């Protein structure tokens, strides 16, 4: 989830009974709600380094406890410094204790992680003990409906302090309803998904195929990628769009590539049982994923290992120029074609892809993020 949403949610929490603990609680909630994203400091060493640590230990058990304690202590210390320098003593206010600030900050840090899990981007909430990514695939990284509800609630609360608590309850109810609608829509999208691909969809791989678990995790070795045998279907997933809870990107992972299809759950043609003359599959797009020897070699580089650890649906393309230099590019199919869908116009650059160039003697000539 984006930091603006985390911040607005923290301010909203400050209007609940959590905010009655005393002076400093709202500051602790806001700072702690954003604290796990301190991993952005890793970006100082480049995008690959940031990806290696992004939503890692700061989003895990040690990060939740440690950042909660640190944030609570910093707010307590900051309040103490302000009071010592203040000319007039603050009257009529009750200061939250250090223990209370630490407790509230820990709760806010935990809620940050819990809000990241439902996004299709995912998070590594068990790191550093387990570096797998986990996701429920209900929400995009930025949910405009959550933002609108939270922002409206804060504005109305400022304009009408008497109705602040009632508005807060309404906002939290709307948030819960949004999660519920997206959860139901996601399940429907996964159920409808095989129908979209029709005869293009191969049979499921024996003992490995998945069609939407309650909690997805990756990377995994469910099936051999780039298998030279007859292609089979590894899994089907549905990831949300940025705007509508009824529009989804359906991804069928095959052993030799991916089939992608944009789905509108409000399409009247999806009402009722499948028809023999359905041609949804004609609008699906196939992305190859061939693991040549050059791709396998690139997977052993630092950039390759980090990207393959992050990417849920990595698709590889490679070629060798006349001089023998191999160029390998990986893209994550969650973001292929741009953030808003596949579209019908010229294909846009993938926002999350990497390029690796390897010389004939095995030297890595270049490894970087690239549009």
Would 28 be classed as within a structural domain? yes
The rounded percent of the chain whose pLDDT value lies above 70 is 89
Give the pair of three-digit tokens for residue 167: 């508005």
If you average pLDDT over residues 213-227, what whole number do you get? Answer: 69
User: Contact, 336 vs 260, CB < 8 A?
Assistant: yes
Same domain, 159 and 298: no
Would 276 be classed as within a structural domain? no
pLDDT band, very low/low/confident/very high, at 242 (cuts 50, 70, 90): confident
- Taking CB atoms within 8 Å and a gap of at least 24, the contacts of 113-117 are 113/36, 113/59, 113/64, 115/1, 115/5, 115/6, 115/9, 116/1, 116/55, 116/59, 117/215
Count of domains observed in the chain:
2
Would 321 be classed as within a structural domain? yes
**pTM greater than 0.75 (yes/no):** yes
pLDDT tens digits, residue range 71-125?
A: 999 999 999 998 887 755 554 468 899 999 999 999 999 999 999 999 999 999 9
Would 103 be classed as within a structural domain? yes
End of a domain among 149, 181, 213?
181
Same domain, 173 and 300: no
Same domain, 161 and 295: no
Would 245 be classed as within a structural domain? no
pLDDT tens digits, residue range 38-66?
A: 999 999 988 889 999 999 999 999 999 99
Strand order in the sheet with 247-254: 233-240, 247-254, 257-264, 285-288
Q: Which residue is listed with tokens 């590594």? A: 124
Q: What is the pLDDT of residue 92?
A: 47
pLDDT band, very low/low/confident/very high, at 337 (cuts 50, 70, 90): low
If you average pLDDT over residues 209-214, what whole number do you get? Answer: 60
Would 238 be classed as within a structural domain? no
End of a domain among 135, 162, 181?
181
If you average pLDDT over residues 188-210, what whole number do you get? Answer: 84
User: Contact, 139 vs 119, CB < 8 A?
Assistant: yes
Determine the Cα–Cα distance for residues 244 and 349; give it in Å rounded to an integer. 22
Phi, psi at 118, each rounded to 5°: -70, -10
Would 255 be classed as within a structural domain? no
User: Contact, 288 vs 256, CB < 8 A?
Assistant: yes
Would 285 be classed as within a structural domain? no
Domain with 100 in it: 3-181
Same domain, 295 and 152: no
End of a domain among 140, 159, 181?
181
């Amino acid at each position: 989830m984006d930091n603006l949403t985390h911040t607005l949610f923290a301010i909203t929490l400050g209007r609940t009974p959590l905010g009655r603990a005393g002076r400093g609680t709202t500051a602790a909630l806001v700072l702690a709600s954003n604290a796990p994203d301190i991993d952005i400091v890793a970006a100082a060493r480049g995008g690959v380094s940031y990806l290696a640590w992004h939503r890692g230990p700061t989003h895990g058990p040690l990060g939740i406890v440690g950042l909660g304690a640190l944030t609570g202590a910093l707010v307590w210390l900051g309040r103490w410094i302000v009071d010592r320098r203040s000319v007039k003593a603050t009257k009529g206010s009750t200061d939250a204790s250090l223990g209370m600030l630490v407790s509230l900050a820990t709760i806010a840090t935990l809620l940050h992680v819990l809000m990241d899990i439902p996004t299709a981007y995912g998070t590594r909430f068990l790191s550093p003990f387990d570096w797998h990514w986990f996701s429920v695939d209900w929400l995009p990284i930025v949910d405009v409906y959550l933002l609108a509800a939270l922002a409206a609630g804060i504005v109305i609360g400022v304009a009408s302090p008497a109705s602040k608590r009632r508005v807060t309850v309404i906002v939290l109810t709307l948030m819960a309803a949004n999660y519920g609608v997206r959860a139901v829509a996601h399940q429907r999208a996964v159920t409808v998904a095989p129908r979209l691909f029709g005869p293009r969809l191969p049979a499921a791989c024996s003992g490995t195929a998945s069609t939407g678990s309650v909690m997805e995790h990756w990377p995994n070795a469910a099936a051999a990628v780039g298998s030279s045998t007859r292609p089979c279907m590894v899994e089907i997933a549905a990831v949300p769009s940025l705007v509508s809870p009824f529009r989804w990107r359906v991804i069928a992972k095959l052993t030799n590539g991916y089939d992608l299809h944009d789905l509108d759950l409000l399409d009247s043609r999806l009402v009722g049982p499948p028809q023999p003359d359905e041609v949804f599959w004609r609008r699906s797009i196939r992305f190859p994923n061939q693991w040549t020897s050059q791709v396998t070699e690139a997977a052993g580089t630092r950039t390759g290992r980090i990207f393959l650890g992050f990417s849920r649906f990595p698709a590889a393309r490679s070629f060798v120029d006349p001089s023998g230099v191999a160029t390998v590019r990986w893209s994550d199919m969650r973001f292929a074609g741009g953030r808003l869908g596949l579209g019908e116009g010229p294909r846009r650059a993938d926002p999350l892809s990497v390029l690796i160039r390897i010389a004939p003697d095995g030297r890595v000539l270049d490894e970087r993020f690239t549009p």
